[in-house]
Structure formats: C-alpha cells, structure tokens
Amino acid sequence: MSPLETIPIHVINPLPASLADPVGLTGNAPPLLHELSESVRRLLDTGETTAIDLSALPLTPADLVWLLEKLGTGEIAVTLQANGESTLNETACPGIWWVTHHNEQGAVTSQFIEVALVPELVKAHPLDVKRGYEYLELMMSDL
Amino acid sequence: MNELLFLTWVRGTGLNIAVGIFLLGVLWRLFEIYSLGRKPDLSAPRHASGASGLHTVFRRSLPPPGMLKRSPVSYIGGYIFHVGLAIVVFLFAPHILLITNLIGLSWPGLPSQVVDLAAVVTMAAMVVVLVDRINKPVKRFLSTFEDWFTWAVTFLPVLTGWMAVQHLLLPYTMMLAVHILSVEILLVVLPFTKLFHAFTLVGSRWYNGRVNGHKGVPV
Amino acid sequence: MQGPLIETLVQQGVSRRTFLKYCATLASMMALPPAAGLAMAEAMAAAKRPSVIWLPFQECTGCTESITRSHSPTIEGMIFDMISLDYQETLMAAAGFQAEEARHNAMKENMGKYLLIIDGSIPLGVDGGYSCIGGRSNIDLLQEAAQGAAAIIAMGSCASYGGIPKANPNPTGAVSVSDLIKDKPIVNIPGCPPIPSVMTGVLAHYLTFGSLPELDDKGRPKAFYGETIHDRCYRRPFYDQGKFAKTFDDEGARQGWCLFELGCKGPVTYNACATVKWNGGTSWPVESGHGCLGCSEPDFWDAGSFYKPLSTPADPLKFVAAASVVGAVAGVAVSVANRAKKGAAKSAHETTTLADLEK
Ligand code: SF4
Ligand code: SF4
C-alpha cells in the first residue's frame, strides 16, 4: 500500500452518528412513516402525489438505513442514466418509491421518497414522445 | 464595523486592553494589600497557632452548624454556581485553547454537551441566588449597587457564551463577539470590586485563622 | 437565440429527464419543497432567455474561472446556455469597440430588463483611475449599467463586500457594489470564489420565479448562506467531543478530527460548502483537511490569521508586560504613600501625660 493510501482523504464520517448516541438513530424517522401513510391515503383517495426531500430533514445515515430497511424492497427498480445515475426503486409498499440522484462522480446529490403510482421522472413527456414518433416515422420511411 | 471585524477587535485590541487592565489592577491591589503590613503582635501566643491558618482556609467554606438550615439558598446555590463556573470556564475546549495560547498550560476538556449542561445549571443557580437576595429583606437591605453590578458582570459571560453555542437571538459571530466582550468587562471590573475575592480569599482566611490561633481559638 | 429553453437544451443533447433531475436537486439544495423542482423545470423550460451583462471590475477572474471551469460538461454550464450572455469580456469573442458596442446594444434593447452581474470591487481612489475599461472608470460603467438593470448580482466577495482589494489599508479605496448602488435589488454571492451551483441556483430562481431569492441581512440568498459551515460540518461531532487535530499531519488530522485548533473559521462563516461541496460534489476544504478561511464573510482578509483558532487572541498581547510593570509600580507607590501617611501620623502623635489631662 502506498503511503498516500493510508491518509483518508475522503473521510466518510465513521464516528459522528455512533458516538453521539450508540445507534445513531435520532428518532426522527418513525414520524416520517406516519407522514408516508397519510400520503399514501391521499394517493388512494384523490390521486394526489407527494414527494419528500430527505436531505431537508434532520436524518442521520443510520436513520436512512433504518427507514430503508423498514420500507423494504419492491418489485421494480428503475435506473436512469442522465448526467449520472439515478435509481427509482419501489419499496415493499407499492406506491412508495425511493429516489436517489447521483452526479457523474457518483456522489449522491439528492434523495427523495416519492408517493405516486409511477415516479414523475419515469413518465415520458408528450413532447418527447412526439419527437420519438417523428424519429420512428423518419426511420420507417427510410426502410 | 461589521460583525467579523468586531469579533476581531475583541479578540485583538479589546483583549489586549482588558488583560492589561486586569493585570495592572491585580498587581496594584496585591502589592497594596500585602505591603500594608501589621504591627508585630507582642503578646505571648495563647496557643501554638499551628495549622489554624490553613484549616481556616477550608473551614470557612463549610457552613457553621445550623447555618445550612437557616440560609440553604446561599450555601447550596453558592456552591453550585461556583463549581459550575469553574467547569464552564476551565473545562470547555475552546477556553482551554485560549489559556494554552496565553500561558502554555493545557489539560483535557469535557464534551461540549456536558459543559452546556453545567452552564445551564450555573445560570439557574445564579438566578436563584439573585431572587433570594431580592426577596429576603435583610439581604436586600445589605445589598449595594456593587452587589447587583458584580452579579450581572458574572452572569453575562455565562449567558452570552451559552447563547452563542446555542445560536440564540443573534448570529453566532455577533454573539461570540458579545461573549468575549462581556468577559473582557469582567476582567476589567474584577480587580476593583468584591470579585477580587478570587485573589484575596485564601490570604485573608489564612491571616484570620492565624490570628485567632494566636489568641487561643485554634481551629 | 430566442425561444423556449428546453428546445435549446434538447438540441444540445440534454434530455428532459436530465433537466428534471437537475431541477429536483437544485430545489433540494435551495431548501424548496420538492414540488418546486417540477415547477422550476416547467417554468425554466418555457422561459425566454434573459439578457445578462457581466462586468468585471477590480478582480482576479477567479470567480469567472470557478463558474466556467467547475466541471465540464456540466449542468451548471447549461444554465449559462439559458441566459443570453451579451457581454462578458473574458468569454466573448468580440473585443475593443465591437465589445463596447455589444454592451450598449444589449443595454438599449433590454432597458430595465437585463440582469447585471458584477465581479470585482470598485476602486474610488484617484477618481476611479485604478481600474478602467476602454478609458472609463469602473464607477462610471457601473452607474451607467445599473440604471437599466432589473437586478444586480454581485459575484464573489469583492463585488459583495470589497474583498481582497479592500483589505487593510485598502490602497485603491475599493468598495462593494451595494456601497454605490442603492436603488436596485442586489444579490450578494460572496465567496472567494463562490460555489458555482450557488450562482446557478440564483439564476435558476430568477428564471423560474422572475424574482430574486430571499436574502439575509448581508444581502446573501438565505437558501445557501442560511447556516454556518460549522453547523453543517461533518467533523462537528469531533468538535463537540473536544477531539482536535493539532497539526496538519498528526494522528488527529489523519483521523479526520476537527480543525478548530488549526484556525478553522467555520463557526463564523455562512456558506454552503459543507452541503453543496466543490468540484461537482467531490469534496470541500474541510474535507480535504484544511480549515475554513471564512471567505464568504465581509473583510475576512482582515480578521486575524487563518491559522489561529477563533477562541485565541487575534494578535499577541502587547500590553501585558507594560501593564504588569505599571500595576506593580502603582501598588508599590500606593504602599509607600500609605507608609508615609502612617509614619506621619506616628510622628505627629503626641504623648499625653497626666499633667495634660489635669489641665
Ligand atoms: S472543522 Fe471547522 S467547521 Fe468543522 S467542526 Fe471543526 S471548527 Fe467547525
Ligand atoms: S470552506 Fe470557508 S474558506 Fe473555504 S470556500 Fe468554503 S467558505 Fe470559503
């Protein structure tokens, strides 16, 4: 190992959460579940969708892991390649999606929980569809 | 002058002036007091004075029998806020850093949460002591401007320091500057008020203990 | 190039989803509700490109470098495609009279509507003679350009607060934009240099809502400058535990402990470095092992050494020795006076005899 590698240039916070209190849980995550259940109810009743910005909430990494574990994994996992990777994963509760955006360097730039039938980003925009249609027509006319 | 420059001033020129006046005052008064001297006591000692002086230094910190019951607030409140002050002043990491920078000594500090708690307890005790002073007619009667003033000058640094750490009222930069300024006021005022007991307490107790021992009342 | 932005972007191969994702992240960064991200995307996609005039004054071009070289090809760069940058000396191809003409045209055509970006401070010394462009002083240019501006963005610490040119003893008499212009909305984006995403965030906000974001008392957007570096610093738990690196290469430094003792100014610095980070989220100064210098605060250059902890004296205590001597001398003098008094009293003392009493 070169001596350079022994210097942790990219320190990823190993202690903070654990030392402040043993498990690193702040207790801020459980109320979020209540909020989610309300959002899901709204989705069922009125079709209204919700998005929760996880970086706007005082959640520690341990809280996020706890939340992720509680919500579980669903059937669908969408990967989007747009200026870095984004993952839009269904949780074990259909209708609740865990959305993580990475930049090109692979760092997480933002994280959301989306309550919707299909996450907003997955849907194709009519204008894009139109462009696709034009392309298709053009391609067929060349055949 | 903006906040940052204000902070720089209190860390620089302000501190310079305050520490200067503090040292000047302390040395002045110590020299003055100790050079006063006493006439030699020609009477034969009634009792070998022994360790009466040393004992008195400590004994005076313990309540005489019955007194704790008569004014619990003064004793208990007094203890709590003196110990609390010591913790906050000498065991908060940034404070230790300051002392290290000034005189080179250093020791381990306490986690800031603990110091935070100590600050709150100290302030509570000081408020209780103040309320007691206001409520008890005798105490109120005996209190002069100096008593109220020195209370405030001691209380403010703790309050502003705590508020700075907790981000209350003012932006941190400003609060920190106000905190340092309040400490500087304390430094300037200390040698010239009853707060000087921090320096004279041991000496005067020792002296009294010795004299009493000499007169035949050893402790 | 006129017309809705999204078309321009799509032509450049930026997909709608890329754009949406960017807006979502931007909204999150600016502490706006997630729904705002979508609103932003829609508004921005449809927005017409506002004219922007960028005037460099007494500056080092570091701010321009920060923005244009952030990391390419970038979504930050996209924002610049969203505006019509009609005058920017460093970037424009035109030079000389041509350039001046471009500026005049943009100012005339978009009177009252263009955004004015300023980087660099404005020197007032020798009638503004320290910094001129095309024979005209910076004050002159600023006042002219400000007249027709919808809003002014002061880019970097120099334009916001005077910055390094204003550092003591301020030889050129440098001042900030807000020192001179009082009748236009001004956003300060301080930093030496400022973080690119903060700059683009403010532009995006303007494009979306047609207004400037909410500002703090120093004219900075609250969304980015609302909290100190220290409050968002990942090394904060070490600060609270009293674990400090003592030198830049000791065990503490290797463990990633707090840099307070090495002079970190994070506690008194309001900026977004700790959350937004630098170089496309790669890292930021404290993460790289160096304390914060306080570069986004007014007069940070004159706020004592970068390497002295905040809680220690900014300068060595000069009066200590003198004060001690004076104190000791005063004490001795007073005691001598006291003794003299005592002596005088003693010698003035007359012995009373029985005869005296009988008188
Ligand atoms: S490194 Fe600086 S900003 Fe971070 S916790 Fe320590 S003092 Fe605060
Ligand atoms: S860490 Fe401090 S000095 Fe460094 S860029 Fe950020 S605000 Fe400026």
Q: What residue segments make up the domains of chain B, in order of their start?
A: 3-25+46-214
Tell me the sheet residues that pair with A85: A81
**Maximum distance among all alpha carbons in chain C?**
126
Residue C198 lies in a domain: yes
Q: Under a CB-based contact definition with an 8 Å cutoff, are residues B213 and B49 in contact?
A: yes
Instruction: Indicate the pairing of strand C122-123 with strand C174-175.
Output: antiparallel
Could you state, in chain order, the average pLDDT of each consecutive group of 10 residues for chain A (143 residues)? 52 44 67 92 92 79 86 92 89 93 81 91 88 93 88
CATH number of the CATH domain containing A68: 3.30.1370.140
**Model pTM?**
0.77
Q: Quick one: pLDDT at residue C346?
A: 83
Closest Cβ–Cβ partner in B8, B20, B176 for C320: B20
Which residue stretches of C242-318 are H helix?
A: 251-254, 273-276
> What pLDDT shows up at residue A17?
43
| Confidence at C156, pLDDT banded by 50, 70, 90 | very high
Flag whether A71 is in a domain: yes
Average pLDDT over residues B164-188: 91
What local confidence, expressed as pLDDT, does residue B210 receive? 83
Of C250, C275, C302, which residue sits at a domain end? C302
Higher pLDDT, C231 or B36: C231
In the structure, what pLDDT confidence band is assigned to residue C118 with cuts at 50, 70 and 90?
very high
Whether residue C175 is found in the same domain as residue C237: no
Domain-embedded: residue C321: no
- Is the pLDDT reported for residue C10 higher than 90? no
Identify the three-state secondary structure at position C104. helix
Asked if A112's CB is within 8 angstroms of C28's CB, the reply is yes
C255 shares a domain with C167: no
Nearest listed ligand to the Cα of residue C289: 1
Contacts of C154 (CB under 8 A, 6+ apart): C118, C119, C160, C176, C177, C178, C186, C187, C188, C189, C190, C219
Tell me if C285 CB under 6 Å of ligand 2.
Answer: yes
Alpha carbon nearest to ligand 1 atom 7, residue = C260
Distance C121 CA to ligand 2 centre (A): 19
What type of residue sits at position A82? Answer: A
Q: C161 and C82 in one domain? A: yes
Q: Does residue C273 line the site of ligand 2, with CB under 6 A?
A: yes
Mean pLDDT of B120-140: 94
d(CA C242, CA C52) in angstroms, rounded, equals 48
Helix (H, G, I), strand (E, B) or coil at A88: strand
Q: In this structure, are residues B101 and C309 in contact, taking their beta carbons and an 8 Å threshold?
A: yes
Distance A78 CA to ligand 1 centre (A): 38
Chains that touch A (3 or more CB pairs under 8 A): C
Is residue C10 included in any domain, yes or no? no
Q: How would you list the strands of the sheet with C51-56, edge to edge?
A: C84-88, C51-56, C114-119, C149-155, C186-189
CA nearest to C197, candidates C293, C87, C80, C296: C80
- Claim to verify: residue C172 and residue C292 sit in the same structural domain: no
Q: Are residues C289 and C275 in the same domain?
A: yes
Q: Is A72 left (phi over 0), alpha (psi -120 to 50) or beta?
A: left
Proportion of chain B above pLDDT 90, given as a percent: 51
Comparing CA positions, the residue from C217, C228, C243, C238 lying closest to residue C275 is C228
**B16 alpha carbon – ligand 2 mean position (Å):** 29
Residue minimizing CA distance to atom 8 of ligand 1? C230
List beta partners, residue C88: C54
Range with the poorest average pLDDT among A86-90, C44-48, C159-163: C44-48
Give the nearest ligand 2 atom to C191 CA: 8
- Token code pair at residue B122: 């100290």
Residues with a CB atom less than 6 Å from ligand 1: C 229-230, 233, 235-236, 239, 258-260, 264, 266-267, 286, 291-292
Euclidean distance between CA atoms C44 and C36, whole angstroms = 12
Domain boundary among C159, C194, C225: C225
Both tokens assigned to A65: 């892991």
Return the pLDDT at C72. 43
Asked if residue A44 belongs to a domain, the reply is yes
In this predicted model, what pLDDT tens digit does every residue of B86-128 receive, in sequence order? 999 999 988 998 888 888 888 998 988 899 999 999 999 999 9
Q: CA B64: distance to chain centroid?
A: 22
CA atoms within 13 A on the CB side of B139: 13
Cα C284 from Cα C265, distance rounded (Å): 14
* H or E segment and range at residue B69: helix B67-70
Question: If you count residue pairs, one on B and one on C, with CB atoms under 8 Å apart, how many are there?
Answer: 137
Residue C352 lies in a domain: no
B202 close to B48: Cβ distance less than 8 angstroms = no
Q: Which helix (H) or strand (E) holds C188?
A: strand C186-189
**Domain count along chain A:** 1
Task: Write the single-letter amino acid at B159.
Answer: L
Which DSSP helix (H) or strand (E) runs through B152?
helix B145-166
Question: Is A108 among the domain residues?
Answer: yes
- For chain A, what is the largest distance between any 2 Cα atoms, rounded to a whole number of angstroms? 67
- For residue C69, what pLDDT band results from cuts at 50, 70 and 90? low
- Report how far residue C9's alpha carbon sits from residue C19's, in angstroms, rounded to the nearest whole number: 9
Q: Domain B3-25+46-214 class?
A: mainly alpha
| Predicted local distance difference test score (pLDDT) of residue A6 | 59
Distance CA C349, CA C359 (A): 19
pLDDT tens readout for residues C170-189: 999 999 999 999 999 999 99
How many of the other CB atoms lie within 10 Å of CB of B153? 19
**Does residue C239 surpass a pLDDT of 50?**
yes
Query: A3 lies in a domain?
Result: no
Element (H, E) at B184: helix B172-189
Residue C194 confidence (pLDDT) above 60: yes
C198 and C58 in one domain?
Answer: yes
Question: Do residue C201 and residue C85 come from a single domain?
Answer: yes
Are C228 and C209 within 8 A, CB to CB? no
Q: Do A19 and C241 touch (CB under 8 A)?
A: yes
What is the C-alpha to C-alpha distance for residues C334 and C339, in angstroms, rounded to an integer? 9
Confidence of residue B21 (pLDDT cuts 50, 70, 90): very high
**Which candidate from C268, C302, C328 shows the least CB-CB separation from B27?**
C328
- Asked if residue C72 and residue C162 are part of one domain, the reply reads yes
Helical (H) or strand (E) element with C51: strand C51-56
Ligand 1 pocket test, candidate residues C292, C293, C310, most atoms within 8 A of CB? C292
Subunits adjacent to chain C (3 or more Cβ pairs under 8 Å): A, B
Boundary of a domain, candidates C171, C192, C225: C225
Q: Which domain holds residue C269?
A: 229-302
Question: What is the pLDDT averaged over residues C214-239?
Answer: 88
Whether B57 and B206 have beta carbons less than 8 Å apart is answered as yes
CA distances from A9 to A12, A105, C248 (A): 9, 16, 13
User: Is the Cβ–Cβ distance between B31 and C337 less than 8 Å?
Assistant: no
Chain B residues close to C178, C-beta within 8 Å:
none
Nearest CA to ligand 2 atom 8: C295
Q: Is the CB of C293 under 6 A from ligand 2?
A: yes
d(CA B19, CA B185) in angstroms, rounded, equals: 10
CA C34, CA A52: separation in Å to the nearest integer?
7
- pLDDT value at position C134? 83
The number of folded domains in chain C is: 2
In the predicted structure, residue C232 carries a pLDDT above the cut 70? yes
Check: CB of residue C214 under 8 Å from CB of residue C30: no
C21 domain residue, yes or no: no
What residues pair up with B92 in beta bridges, in sequence order? B110
Q: C179, exposed or middle or buried, with CB in 10 Å at 0-12, 13-18, 19+? A: middle
My answer on whether C280 and C171 are in the same domain is no
Question: What DSSP character marks residue B11?
Answer: I
Contact residues, chain A, for C222 at CB < 8 Å: none
Could you tell me which residues are beta bridge partners of residue A101? A86, A110
Q: Provide the token pair at C347.
A: 């010698």
C233 and C271 share one domain? yes
Q: Please tell me the distance from the alpha carbon of residue B12 to that of residue C317, in angstroms, as a whole number.
A: 8
B192: nearest Cα among B47, B57, B45, B32: B32
On chain B, the residues whose CB falls within 8 A of the CB of C270 are 171
Containing domain of residue A41, as a range?
28-141
Q: Is the CB of C228 under 6 A from ligand 2?
A: no
Tell me, yes or no, if C300 comes closer than 8 A to chain B by beta carbon: yes
Question: C234 and C220 in one domain?
Answer: no
Spatial neighbors of C173 by CB under 8 A, at least 6 apart, are C123, C124, C125, C130
What single-letter DSSP state applies at residue C164? G
What is the spatial distance between Cα B214 and Cα B212, in angstroms, rounded to a whole number? 5
Chain centroid, CA A29 distance in Å: 16
